[in-house]
């Protein structure tokens, strides 16, 4: 799709019902896995309340912004803004424009405008995929942002807890109402992998299928185990897909990338669910 500054074949938003389930981790590692396959990839961190992608790629801004500047579209006499390239992915984040500890309380009315600006007034160049990390939840802010985007589809990230699925169902209902396609779900931190023997086990009680998002016919794109290295590497600014490409977690992210591409090229909905 091509509209003003953005020329992307596919724009994919990553959402979650709850915070902390790994939405940014999935967004980043999915973008990197697609880039490793030779695609031209952009990543827009639109998580207004917790823009964590900069930290996860080793970039932080300490200086607080005094006001939000609206820069103009590059083609309309404005300068536009360049994304920052890390590990082969072009990145733009709310976190590049605010201080790391800066809290903004009144995003509400501006979200649509800022979302549009970060999408269309940034010099992304030609992209195969633009991945968008949404704020968690299904409130007015998320709806406003989603309305301002022209999406190929969405991916919903869930944790292994009953309540994570309960909240994720709300975002799926919201996407249905907005007539936005759900490409599938990612189950993150579903199992813990023992660093000594590699054996995997569940920490939380298994979510009953009828209470899970899979009961809504959402296809499972892949499951990522809870691996301490994912968090350690992210804190060092080195995403796991880049720093430990042979790990079980990196392999899981690459499998998710393959599933996403497959889903983009299929028109069918409602596939497999986890056992
Ligand atoms: N599979 C995993 N194994 C271990 N740690 C993980 C995994 N996935 C994510 N984490 C860690 O969990 C924490 C939360 O992840 P992340 O920031 O991606 O969540 P989020 O859903 O985007 O949160 P929020 O929306 O509240 O910002 C981070 O410290 C991250 O490194």
Rounded CA-CA distance 201/189 in Å is 11
- Residue 134 CB less than 6 A away from ligand 1: no
CB–CB of 12/260 below 8 Å?
yes
Q: Is residue 3 in a domain?
A: no
Q: Can you read off the two tokens belonging to residue 204?
A: 């939380």
Decide if 274 is inside a domain: no
Give the number of other Cβ atoms within 10 Å of residue 199's Cβ: 9
**21 labelled ligand-binding:** yes
Give 47's contacts (C-beta < 8 A, 6+ positions apart).
23, 24, 53, 94, 133, 134, 135, 136
Is 273 a domain residue?
Answer: no
Q: Which of 104, 100, 129 is nearest to 41 (CA)?
A: 129
User: CA 21 to CA 159: how far, in whole Å?
Assistant: 5
- Is 50 among the annotated ligand-binding positions? no
Centroid of ligand 1 to alpha carbon of 5 (angstroms)? 31
Answer yes or no: is 176 a known binding residue.
no
Q: What is the ipTM of this complex?
A: 0.98
Q: Are 273 and 214 in contact (CB under 8 A)?
A: yes
Q: Is residue 186 part of a domain?
A: yes
Is residue 146 in a domain?
Answer: yes
CA 221 to each of CA 32, 132, 181: distance values in angstroms, whole numbers, following the listed order? 16, 17, 14
Sequential pLDDT tens for the chain (275 residues): 544 567 899 999 999 998 899 999 999 999 999 999 999 999 999 887 778 899 999 987 666 666 666 555 555 555 578 899 999 999 999 888 776 666 665 666 677 777 788 888 888 999 999 999 998 888 777 787 788 788 999 999 999 989 999 999 999 999 999 999 999 999 999 888 777 887 878 888 888 989 999 999 999 999 999 988 999 999 999 999 999 999 999 999 999 999 999 999 987 654 444 44
> Which residues, in sequence order, are CB contacts of 197 under 8 Å at separation 6+?
none
Place of tokens 């609206």: 70
Domain of 157?
8-267
- Give me the number of domains the chain comprises: 1
Give nearest CA residue, ligand 1 atom 29. 231
Q: How far apart are the C-alpha atoms of 266 and 113, rounded to whole Å?
A: 32
CB-CB neighbours of 136 under 10 Å = 23
Count of CB atoms within 10 A of residue 129's CB? 24
Q: Does residue 275 fall inside a structural domain?
A: no
Six-digit token pair at 108? 């509400």
Q: How far apart are the first and last CA of the chain?
A: 36
Tokens read off for 254 = 């690459």
Does 52 contact ligand 1 (Cβ within 6 A)?
yes
Tokens of 102: 């800066």
Q: Is residue 19 part of a domain?
A: yes
C-beta separation of 158 from 188 below 8 A: yes
For residue 18, say whether it is annotated as part of any ligand binding site.
Answer: yes
237 alpha carbon to ligand 1 midpoint, in Å?
A: 13
Q: Give me the CATH number covering residue 226.
A: 3.40.50.300
């Amino acid at each position: 799709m091509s509209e003003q500054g953005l020329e992307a074949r596919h724009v994919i938003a990553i959402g979650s019902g709850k915070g902390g389930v790994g939405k940014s981790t999935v967004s980043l590692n999915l973008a990197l896995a697609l880039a490793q396959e030779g695609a031209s990839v952009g990543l827009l961190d639109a998580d207004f309340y917790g823009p964590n992608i900069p930290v996860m790629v080793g970039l932080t801004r300490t200086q607080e912004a005094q006001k939000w500047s609206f820069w103009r579209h590059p083609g309309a006499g404005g300068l536009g803004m360049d994304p920052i390239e890390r590990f082969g992915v072009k990145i733009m984040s709310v976190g590049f424009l605010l201080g790391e500890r800066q809290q903004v309380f009144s995003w509400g009315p501006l979200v649509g405008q800022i979302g549009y600006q970060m999408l269309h007034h940034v010099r992304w160049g030609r992209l195969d995929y633009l991945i968008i990390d949404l704020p968690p939840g299904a409130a007015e802010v998320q709806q406003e942002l989603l309305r301002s985007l022209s999406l190929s589809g969405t991916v919903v990230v869930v944790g292994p807890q009953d309540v994570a699925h309960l909240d994720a169902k709300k975002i799926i209902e919201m996407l249905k109402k907005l007539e936005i396609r759900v490409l599938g779900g990612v189950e993150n931190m579903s199992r813990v992998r023992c660093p000594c023997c590699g054996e995997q086990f569940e920490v939380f009680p298994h979510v009953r299928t009828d209470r899970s998002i899979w009961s809504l016919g959402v296809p499972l794109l892949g499951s990522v185990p809870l691996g301490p290295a994912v968090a350690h590497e992210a804190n060092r600014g080195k995403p796991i897909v880049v720093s430990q490409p042979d790990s079980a977690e990196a392999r899981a992210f690459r499998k998710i990338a393959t599933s996403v591409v497959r889903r983009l090229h299929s028109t069918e909905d409602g596939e497999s669910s986890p056992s």
